[in-house]
Structure 1
């Protein structure tokens, strides 16, 4: 590596890396009040995000502490995970939780509030173990001073241990307003049979918890400071100023290594559809490239579902606009991918399948060296099936379902008023749950009066 070559700020852990760039800081020990050493390592968790791993140790008393913090921006939406814990494999699921993650077990009316624990990489069983350890702390002293309270805590610990032994089925709910919590799917690449992820729009109070204040809020507060846009989406507020003839550029951070980078944004018109915003980011530090598409308008009146037959070369050439809210299914392969897994993109049917293969090929089950719930042989077999589709050896049906109505599949018929035989388009009324996820149910658009 030349002296002028730049390294990513957040890099993959690699045993052969001679320079992992661990930062050491002399720190105060909260146990013996002497000085210990804190080590900081900036690294990446595949298919999740950049993180900062912190490890403290004190040579005087032997006290140690480890924690993890996010190294990137907050997600655009909050996230809620609801897991039905029924089998031993569910206890072994890897969980990444941030400082803003609340943990609850409805069956026990048990909750760990957000910001009461540091972020960590753990497992479902590890969450129970940490809760048991926390409740067990100082129990000997409680037995002497407050025996009734100690007995109640012992009884509750026994109930947690019963869940750990899977004596009964139970539910784990994780809610994170920062959107930076993740639960492993042991059935990947297939749909998770017992875990449901729901994204939600943050309200003002939740945004303020994260330190996010929008332009209007900053101005109304009369702080004298310029308005601040959510760091999750630095392009927010730019759409109205963007015209079809210009390319707008704004500074951001690389989503891969977090180094400073620039994002180019352009408004373009898709024939027979609508205007969309195409954004492209290239990082000079690590070479990462990303392309993203966002709708140039609002949510449509109805959701839309496309069923596309993929059987020959002509089918692969269809233009496809997949928004962030659009899920993808391939019934023949039992594949079900959520909208945010592949993000928003303007590509072709073939490009969409190749992007799916690329993400699966780089999954932790195939590239990591840590134990995982996912069978790598099953994953490789699934990738082979997708490659057979691209090679024309296997016909499939590609289903794109977008409750926001902001996705598009090209009609190969010369008459744009009639769809071709290989494309079926269905418009439908959204359910209450879909409107809730899109943040529509709380919107008030009627009954306003002119204050003047």
Structure 2
């Protein structure tokens, strides 16, 4: 069983026959300061000064860089250049946020004025669309912003109004058309008729608030997708063709089972350089999985993630457990990144990829859900919070604690269309009277989200060369 706080510096040992146990320990060392510090009026942050070329007089000037973190948003780099020779200066802000593994697309059906108050994080790489008006804000035409849907529309109106005086003097017809379109955008804020807002961000760093959290938002559809080569190039990611890699031999796989591999990465919290440990583990009565654990020496953050060590199953898996005793909290659990978690008694559903892959216990999963929804939710504090929303989430947290302590009976459903999730059967090899496992055929939409519809695995063998006719 793996400890849910993270495996870097912790232990992970298996139960049951045929499972390889392993153990890691990390010596406590003094932590280095994080690269990105949060804005604070109490602590003064010293910028880094670099001599650089002035593009005005072509002599040396000074560039000052400040790596900071906007609370509840993301990391940014503030740069300022000044030249003492010609007095030219320039300032700008750049995003330093981590690009996610997948892009994200939010589709919101705006039906009331309350929807206009939904908070929106729009990254500079995101495209915003309103199909009813054939209106689009292309990527990288606006800086990233933390706003509301009403603020997003106001920002678009301000951009269109900016050059209107010049247009009215030079091209009155175009100016009149833009005025008409601005009036249509203004009417959207009254929500006289429903409209659709789509935010498509290949970096995965944009967000639209669910005011009904932790319940499912029927007006909001969230879809994660794999980026194509053009989107990778737009984000500045490497798009070179990857050299063909030979499949690992049996000896290599056996070495991986007996060794903890380590590679360099960046901390998902503070973006500081960190190391990730990786181990191939056999889960009894299931399959092999890859456990990855990251331990950051700068901010102390620890995370673990689980990837399936095998192929996508032909059928999806739905596991339903009736929680009747506190001992159920000790059941080992594998939640893959494609698995949704449903608790019917709380009218709660956690979509796939929300907390990634986890190899933990049932108690560890419920505590991770509580941390995500209640304790670490940035929209429950500060100016963006409301008393009603905060109390609603706290009540949800109290019900989760009641389930963990055994005071409240409930069902937990793990629905994984890829079939790579697992919940321990404590009666194995006999059937578990409180647990039901179902296999089902994936729908087209589920296969599309997994990227299986366009995947072709046949017909790739090279045809034998035919002798040329003479």
TM above 0.5, one fold?
yes
- Whether 1:421 aligns to 2:447 is no
1:165 matched to which residue of 2? 190
User: Which of 397, 400, 423 is matched with 2:414 structurally?
Assistant: 400
Q: Contact 1:51–1:70 at 8 Å: present in 2 too? A: yes
| Structure 1 residues 445 and 395: alpha-carbon distance in aligned structure 2, compared to 1, 3 A threshold | same
| Structure 1 residues 170 and 296: alpha-carbon distance in aligned structure 2, compared to 1, 3 A threshold | same
Matches of 2:146 and 2:295, distance apart in 1: 29
User: Which of 384, 403, 422 is matched with 1:389 structurally?
Assistant: 403
User: Which of 259, 262, 272 is matched with 2:272 structurally?
Assistant: 259
Higher relative contact order (CA 8 A, sep 6+): 2
1:341 aligned counterpart, secondary structure: coil
Q: Contact 1:302–1:429 at 8 Å: present in 2 too? A: yes
2:301 matched to which residue of 1? 288
Write the mapping of 1:9-158 to structure 2, written as runs, cut at 5 A.
9-15=35-41, 17-21=42-46, 40-43=66-69, 45-46=71-72, 50-52=74-76, 54=78, 69-72=95-98, 74-158=99-183
1:318 matched to which residue of 2? 331
Deviation of 1:55 (Å): 8.4
User: Which of 201, 204, 213 is matched with 2:238 structurally?
Assistant: 213
2:17 matched to which residue of 1? none
* Runs of 5+ unmatched residues, structure 2: 1-29, 83-88, 246-251, 465-470
* Runs of 5+ unmatched residues, structure 1: 221-226, 228-238
Deviation of 1:21 (Å): 4.8
Write the mapping of 1:365-384 to structure 2, written as runs, cut at 5 A.
365-366=379-380, 368-372=381-385, 375-384=389-398
Moved more, 240-249 or 17-26: 17-26
Deviation of 1:445 (Å): 1.9
User: Which of 165, 168, 179 is matched with 2:204 structurally?
Assistant: 179
1:355 matched to which residue of 2? 368
1:197 aligned counterpart, secondary structure: strand
User: Which of 420, 445, 452 is matched with 2:457 structurally?
Assistant: 445
Matches of 2:55 and 2:390, distance apart in 1: 43
| Structure 1 residues 56 and 262: alpha-carbon distance in aligned structure 2, compared to 1, 3 A threshold | closer
Q: Normalization by structure 1: what TM-score?
A: 0.84
Q: Deviations over 1:248-272 (max 9, x none)?
A: 1000111111111110000010011
User: Which of 330, 342, 351 is matched with 2:355 structurally?
Assistant: 342
Deviation of 1:167 (Å): 2.1
Q: Contact 1:24–1:40 at 8 Å: present in 2 too? A: no
Deviation of 1:41 (Å): 4.8
Matches of 1:434 and 1:161, distance apart in 2: 38
Q: Contact 2:37–2:67 at 8 Å: present in 1 too? A: no
1:330 matched to which residue of 2? 343
Q: Normalization by structure 2: what TM-score?
A: 0.81
User: Which of 313, 338, 347 is matched with 1:300 structurally?
Assistant: 313
Q: Contact 2:31–2:297 at 8 Å: present in 1 too? A: no
Q: Deviations over 1:333-360 (max 9, x none)?
A: 1111112222111111111111112222
2:425 aligned counterpart, secondary structure: coil
Q: Contact 1:261–1:284 at 8 Å: present in 2 too? A: yes
Q: How many residues align?
A: 416
1:383 aligned counterpart, secondary structure: helix
1:278 matched to which residue of 2? 291
Q: Contact 1:104–1:112 at 8 Å: present in 2 too? A: yes
2:34 matched to which residue of 1? 8
1:52 aligned counterpart, secondary structure: strand
Q: Give the structure with higher Rg (CA).
A: 2
| Structure 1 residues 244 and 218: alpha-carbon distance in aligned structure 2, compared to 1, 3 A threshold | closer
| Structure 1 residues 256 and 187: alpha-carbon distance in aligned structure 2, compared to 1, 3 A threshold | same
2:37 aligned counterpart, secondary structure: coil
